[in-house]
Each structure stands twice: as C-alpha cells, then as structure tokens.
Amino acid sequence: MPITYHNLHLTRLDGAIPVWEGEIKPGDLPPVCQNVADGGGRLLALWGSDARGDAGERGNGFALHVVLVNEAGLICLSMALDAVQPVYPDISRIFPAASRMQRAAYDLLGIYAHEGHDHRKWVRHGAWHGGSFPLRKDFDAAQNRDPLSNSLSKTTSHSTRLQETAAKSLVIPQAGERTNEKGNLEPLEPDAYPFVQVEGQGVHEIPVGPIHAGTIEPGHFRFSVVGEKVLRLEERFGYTHKGIEKRFESLTLQQGAKLAGRVSGDSTVAYAWAYAMAAESIAAVTPPDQALWLRALFLERERIANHLGDLGDLGNDVALSFGFAQFWILKEQVLRNNAALFGHRYLMGKIVPGGVAADLTEAGKQTLREECAMLEREVRVLRGIYEEHAGMQDRFIAAGRVEPKLAAQLGLCGLAGRASAQAWDARVQFACAPYDRLDVQMATYRNGDVAARVIVRFDELFESLRLQREILDHLAHDGELAIPLERLPGNGFGVGMVEGWRGEVLVAIHTDVQGNLTRVHPHDPSWQNWPAVEHAIMGNIVPDFPLINKSFNLSYSGQDL
Amino acid sequence: MTMDQSLGILFQLYQSLLVVLLAPLLTGWVNQCRAWLQNRSGPGLLQPFRTLRKLFHKDAVIAHNASPLFRITPYILFGCMWLAAAIIPIVAVDLPFSPAADVIALVGVFALARVFIALAAMDIGTAFGTLGARREMLVSFLAEPALLMVLFTASLISQSTQLPRIVEALAHHQFVLYPSLAFAGLAFVIVLLAENARIPVDNPGTHLELTMIHEAMILEYSARHLALVEWASSLKLLAYISLGIALFFPHGIAEVGNWRALPLAIAVLLVKLTLAGAGLALLETLLAKMRIFRAPEFLGTAFLLAVLGLLIHFLLGA
C-alpha cells in the first residue's frame, strides 16, 4: 500500500507499473494530498470527466481524478462531483503545480476548485464561450463555432437529463469576465486576461510572443523588469489547444493510439507507450517480450535524439554555432537510421496497444551498434569542448538556478528535476518490463542551473547509449511482435506512465460500458515544469531567458491539449 | 579642372562603387567561412545579394504609428555608411572626398547613424525596439572612446588626424614595427566586433528576440527599408575592416593617378579583405556570446589596450 489513511480503500490495478486506485470523499482530498506531500510524494496529474451519462452509481455527475505518486507507486483518486455544483477542494496550496491543471479542468469541463487562489482561464482563448465546456458530453461544437452567437437555446443534447443539468450548472465568472443576461460568460474586453502587475520605480513590462522571431511553438511570456533584471515572469499558454482530449472520445482504441502518438511530436514514443500501457492495464494483457525490448529501444532512441538536439540548441543559444551544427549532424544520423530501420524518423506509430509495429533485423542491429560507437566517440569529444569552453560555461553556470528545496516544493520532475536533485526516474523507481532487467543508472545533480541540466543531458545520453547496446544484446528474433488487442473491457480504467526524455509522460484511459474510449487524458511533464521556469528566471537578466528556457525545453503542444 | 583633379574624382567614383558592391560580398564571405568552419556547406558568396533582391521586391509593412523618422532612417543609415566606406583610403590615398572627414569626424558619422537607428527603434514603441536601442547605446558609449584612443595612437605616429596622412605615413615609410600600434590593433579588433554586432557581443544570426541588440532595433523594418539597413550593416563592416587595414596594414595601396599601381592595389585589397573575413569568421566560431553585462568589461579591455598603446608611444616614441 502506498499510503494508509482511514476512509481510503485502494485497490491495485493490473499492469506494468504499480498503480493503486480508490474513491475519495471531498473532505479527505486535502489531508490525503498533504499526507503524500509530507512523505516526499508529488502530484502527477489532475483531470475531470463527465460521468453524467454513465450507468450505476458513478452516473450522477462529474468526476475529478487526481494521480499522486510516491516511492511506492501511483495513487489514482477519483472523486464524484455533483452534476449541478461540481465543486471540489483546492489542492494547489499543497501542490502548486495543481493550479494550472485546476484552471484547465474548469475551462474544459466546468468543475471548480473551491477556495483556489487563481481562477483565471487557462486554455480558453475565446475559441468557445465562457460558461460552455467542451469536454461535457452535451457540448455542441456547432453552436460554439461562432463566438458572437451567444445562445444556449439551440442546445441539442442527447438526453433531457443532461440538458437540465447543463442549464443549471455552476458558471463562475473568472477574472476579467462577467455573466451576461443569458447566463453566459463574456469577457470585459476581447480575450481579457489580467496579468499580475509589478509596481515600483522603473519597473516596466516586456510582452513576448505568442508569435516569436524564430520558428518555435507559441507561448506568451510577460516579463516585469527593471533595466535588464527580471523581477517576475508570467507565462500564458493554451495557444495550441486543439481539442485532442475531446477527439479521443470518438475514436477506437487503434485510432486513439495514433492520436496519442501525436500529442507531442518529440515524445511520440513515450506517449504511444504510455497509452498502450494504460490499455494493456485495462485489458490485463502483457505484450510479448520481444515487443517490450523494442519499446525500450525506441524510447532510448527518442531520448538520444532529443538530448542531442537540445545540446546543439543550447550551443546555438550562446551563439556557439559550431556545437549546434555538430550535435544536429549526429541527431540527423540517428533520425535517418530510424527511418531506414523502422520506417519513421521519429518512430511515430511504431508502438501499438498490445505490442510494436516494427522489428529489427540482424543487419539493423549491426547498424545500431556502429551508430552507438560513433555517437559515444563524437559526443565524448564534444562534451570536452563544451566543458572547457570558458565563454560557454560562463553563460551556463549559475544561470536559471532552481534550488533543490524549491524544486521539491514545485514538484519539478524529469530531466529538469534530476538537475535539481529530485531523484525521480520512472525507469528506476517503477521499472516496468524490460527496464527491470536493465539496471538504469539515474543521473542527478544538485546545482539546478543551466550547466546542471546540460550535465544531466550528457550523462543520460551516455546511459541511453549503454542501455541501447544492452537492449540490442537481449533482442531475440523468434518472438511475436504484438498480441491482438481489438477492444477494451467495459467500465475500465487504466494508467500508463513512461519516463520520456523530458520527464514522466502519463496517459489515463476510461472506457464506457461497451468498452469504448470515453475519456483519455494525456499528461505531459511540462505541466509541472513550466511554473518552475517562472522561478528560474527571477533575478536573471532578460537576454538569458532563451538559454534558460531552452535548458528546460518544455512542450507547449503537449500541455495545450 | 586639372588632370589630377579629374583623375582623383574618377578614383573616388571608382572606390565608391566598389565598396557598395564589395560590402555584401564580404558579408557573404564571412558567412560562407562560418559555414565551412561549422561543417556546413553554406549558402554561397552571393547570398546577401539574393537577400537584397528579395527584399527590394517586397512591399514594405510599416506600423501605423511610425513617424517619418522611422521611414527616413534606413536612407540616412545607408548614406552614412556609404560615406564612411567611400572616404577611407583603401584602394588609393588622396581621394578628393577624404579631406571631408578626418578620423574624428568619421567616428561622428558612425555616431550619427547610430543615433538615428536608435531613435527609429524607439519610434514604433515596441518593447524590443527600446530594449535593442538601450543595449546598443550601452555597447557603443563604451566602444566609441576606445575607437578614438586607437585612432589617436595612429595619428600621434603620423602627426595628423587625416586618414590619408596616416596611411601615407605608415605605408610609404620604411617598414617599421610600432609596439604602440600592436596594442591599438588588439583594441580595434574588440571595437570592431562590438560595433558590428558580431559574436561575442551580439549575434547577427540569432532569432531569439530577447537576446538581440542590433537585430532588436530593426525588427520592425521590412522590404526596401530592411534591405537598406542590411546593406548599411554590410557597408559598416567593410568600413571598419577597411579602417583596420588602413591603420595597421596599409602596404600596397595605390596613389591617385598611378594607374599602373591600381590593379595590384585592388588585388592586395581583396587578399586583405579575404583574410580579414576569414579571421572574423574564425573568431566568431571559436567564441560564444557573452552575457550582456560582460560587454562593458570586454570594451573596457579595449579602452585599456588603446590607452596602453598611447602610453607606449609617449614612453618609447614608437
């Protein structure tokens, strides 16, 4: 049992990683969260689901799902919420990372964190009206297409019961909004979003983005500065919201796997594996051994490619284009080998529920062994150059520091967490097959600055190369690649978590009575780590921000679902 | 008009045209060298010309709140840089326009261009323009005195602030090594890097708007305005490298009217520019961009070196 708390009954789910599930009462949520936090645990994900159409006792309202993690495993807590007043206790005071997740849950589903300290909208940018919630089953996309037609009267819902609850549902004006006479929310001005103001002599704001000078993902950064010194940074995202979670609801298991692999292009293997792991947990099947080894191979190759790319980009951000070019030549080599051996540069669609969709020949193994040797040789030289380059180290050291204590408070995870002494790596703590046979060495560092994140990347790169070699030795050729997994059992719930290159990627799947996907929630580690970037930049100077941001290299698309 | 005068004007026209065409080529060469040093194949020498042609064919987009200052600045900038590049004796000494500006006035011409681009950057009122203008001023107010000190060292040796006199004094005397000029030369390289928005002070190739200095000031320019600004930047780089050549390696320069020396002078100039461009590319490949608050230390070093050059001149008389 990961935690003991009276009133809380946890049951272990089938699957590759240790996951417990249990129902929780609203009053118990904060103490349980506090209990987990006190034990060094973290919040992993928070989302809501619309259970109003479900049969049985669950079918009386909405549900809130919270996943906590501690050394023993994942704890999935579900809380039934009232259909008309879907309110739950705020947990962002215990886990600061919860704040944005709670705001997103309100925008998408209309469930509301009582006494939360920040109720501004998060993913809604005027693409749908305030007061209507896309993830509700009775949401009418057609009626919401035109932002000017503010009318709920045309609602065509499938059941009258849903219609009744929708009309009476809790609608709360957020900052910068008011309720109009029809009960809808409208902004006081178009897309109003009050940023936190910093006042004082000589303080001014620099708004950056969402359109940038380079080809990067859209995000808005509001700097409050004195001269070049940053007093405060506030992030505003959601510009790449594309309704992925809504789309999942109408997909089959196989189509869902394809979509899961496209949540965040640079982590396609991690998402596809996490999705497959969740599905396999519901169906209580274990993929063939051969498939598991190949999955690990894909995941390590994804890590290798992304770390190479990031190390190059970090060189580019301090204008050392030499490093940029060298690392990207190496990354390109990895991607080309992926394309030649597996049929896709980023390995999209190569992991399917039940197994994998690509094999490796003996000749292919040889190619990868040679690639490994080449990469080890080249990266060792490049690491020497990076570490001895005075100008570069001067930029890296002490820039964007996140102290271990702060990192623990914020629940910093993944690569950035390990650079701030947060020793979490799902491949180590919750080693699913085949990692249980690999003995992964976790790379951690204490300094928490850009230099530390570079060191962790180098260490993980070498470790991944070592793992890749070991995986190649274990790969046999006789095994099956996948077991057929056509449909999931009804009323199922499963969670998959994989240590992607950026951090732990989680996918949760709920199925309805017939076994269709009713709610799929992909969760990117960027949710936890973006708030840390706001802290990392404080006290640094404005021109250092791109470097600090790149050293985290978080996903915009992965969290703007 | 005497024969000498008309020949002089011919030489002047010739150099003026030469620098305008040579400037983008030099930028192309530096970029090409950088590409080679980074294991890339590079876009070729003519890429800056292609960029200019593309920009001149586009329609300009100008902010609603732009004042006339914003529109005329690219022309002033281009004019200043062209003037600077045209009067520095690189092909021949004694050009008729040369007396128009001595070294101190030359620094003034650069300063004039800077004032206008900084004002234009703030004119639009975007955060980046102001940010860039502020940083440009931080860098230039430190670079300018260092440059003046370098020029004073050279003019002390030749007893004149007129560039042709300096070049004559250095080029046509017997070859002597001046220790004071060695210090001044080092200082000049630092100033050249800072003033031309090169690594390690600025990064001409960056797309990170928050780190930009020069690029941040010209973010709002497009089409023909941007083309002129880019061309002016190329001219400025050429002018600075020419100035360096004139001060430190003037040997091989032709005298006005000496037709026979002209082909050799141009050949020597091209070799010098090629080497200077390659050297610049090498420096930019080896260095990383420094934190912006290191720039004062960097330029302080330049000033110190230039002052050392002056002191050495007074102490050793060389």
Place of tokens 């979670």: A245
Task: Indicate the pLDDT class of residue A155, thresholds 50, 70 and 90.
Answer: very low
pTM of the model: 0.91
pLDDT given at position B257: 62
Is the pLDDT at B293 greater than 70? The verdict is yes
pLDDT given at position A144: 67
Would the CB atoms of A206 and B206 count as touching at under 8 Å? no
The β-bridge relationship of strands A517-523 and A42-50 is: unpaired
The Cβ of residue A115 has, within 10 Å, a number of other Cβ atoms equal to: 9
In this prediction, residues A71-93 reach a mean pLDDT of 92
Q: How many CB pairs under 8 A join A and B?
A: 86
- Distance from A197 to chain B by nearest Cα, in Å? 16
Is the pLDDT at A372 greater than 50? The verdict is yes
Closest residue to B203, CB basis, from A207, A319, A391: A319
CB A73 within 8 A of CB A430: yes
Residues of A in contact with B40 (CB under 8 A): 325
- A residues 382-411 near B, CB within 8 Å? 389, 391-392, 394-395
In this prediction, residues A82-87 reach a mean pLDDT of 89
B34 touches chain A (CB under 8 A): yes
Task: Indicate the pLDDT class of residue A179, thresholds 50, 70 and 90.
Answer: low
Would the CB atoms of A206 and B200 count as touching at under 8 Å? no
Give the model confidence (pLDDT) of B118-138 as tens digits: 999 999 888 889 989 999 999
Element (H, E) at B155: helix B127-158
State residue A346 phi and psi, 5-degree precision: -105, 10
pLDDT given at position A274: 96
Is the pLDDT at A426 greater than 50? The verdict is yes
pLDDT given at position B92: 75
A226 touches chain B (CB under 8 A): no
pLDDT given at position A176: 65
Is the pLDDT at A177 greater than 80? The verdict is no
For residues A487 and B75, give the distance between their C-alpha atoms in angstroms, rounded to a whole number.
69
Across A210-214, B151-155, B257-261, the highest mean pLDDT is recorded for: B151-155
In this prediction, residues B18-34 reach a mean pLDDT of 94
pLDDT given at position A126: 78
pLDDT given at position A151: 40
pLDDT given at position B265: 84
Tokens of A445: 């560092």
B211 touches chain A (CB under 8 A): yes
* B258 against B106, higher pLDDT: B106
A340 touches chain B (CB under 8 A): no
Between A368-377, B168-177, B190-199, the lowest mean confidence (pLDDT) is in B168-177
In this prediction, residues A80-100 reach a mean pLDDT of 92
State residue A504 phi and psi, 5-degree precision: -80, 125
A111: left (phi over 0), alpha (psi -120 to 50) or beta: beta
CB B197 within 8 A of CB B204: yes
pLDDT given at position A247: 93
Tell me how many degrees the CA angle A154-A157-A162 measures, rounded to the nearest 5. Answer: 120
pLDDT given at position A187: 61
B172 touches chain A (CB under 8 A): no
Give the model confidence (pLDDT) of A10-30 as tens digits: 999 988 899 999 999 999 999
Task: Indicate the pLDDT class of residue A57, thresholds 50, 70 and 90.
Answer: low
pLDDT given at position A152: 41
Is the pLDDT at A404 greater than 60? The verdict is yes
Give the model confidence (pLDDT) of A318-340 as tens digits: 999 899 999 999 999 999 999 99
Percent with pLDDT over 90 in chain A = 71
Between A48-57, A388-397, B253-262, the lowest mean confidence (pLDDT) is in B253-262
Of the candidates B262, B248, B255, B281, the residue with the CA atom closest to the CA atom of residue B98? B255
Between A415-424, A462-471, B252-261, the lowest mean confidence (pLDDT) is in B252-261
Residues of B in contact with A207 (CB under 8 A): 127
What mean pLDDT is reported for chain A? Answer: 89
In this prediction, residues A416-426 reach a mean pLDDT of 95
- Distance from B201 to chain A by nearest Cα, in Å? 10
Is the pLDDT at B82 greater than 60? The verdict is yes
Q: Tell me how long chain A is.
A: 561
